[in-house]
């Protein structure tokens, strides 16, 4: 039982999950703002 816990919660997996959460939060919080840099040339 301890083996899967060590495999699941090792440092590399925790960093990958943290990176995914940060990317998801960035997408959620920036989705409502319009990208102004697209319209600057018009």
In a domain? residue 17: yes
Whole-prediction pTM:
0.58
Domain annotation covers residue 15? yes
Q: Report if residue 41 sits inside a domain.
A: no
**What mean pLDDT do residues 23-34 have?**
81
Inter-CA distances, 40 with 30, 31, 35, 36, 37, Å:
18, 19, 10, 7, 5
What pLDDT is recorded for position 41?
Answer: 66
From CA 24, how far away is CA 10, in angstroms rounded? 22
Could you tell me if residue 28 is inside a domain? yes
Copy the structure tokens of residue 21: 């959460």
Query: Does residue 14 fall inside a structural domain?
Result: yes
Mean pLDDT along residues 5-34? 84
Instruction: Work out the average pLDDT over 13-36.
Output: 85
Overall domain count for the chain: 1
Domain that holds residue 15: 2-33
* Residue 24 predicted with pLDDT over 80: yes
What is the per-residue pLDDT for 23? 95
Q: What is the DSSP string of 1-42?
A: -HHHHHHHTSHHHHHHHHHHHHHHHHHHHHSSS--TTTGGG-
Question: Does residue 38 form part of some domain?
Answer: no
């Amino acid at each position: 039982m301890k083996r899967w816990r060590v495999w699941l919660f090792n440092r590399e997996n925790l960093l990958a999950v943290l990176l995914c959460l940060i990317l998801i939060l960035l997408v959620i919080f920036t989705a409502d703002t319009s990208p102004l840099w697209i319209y600057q040339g018009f």
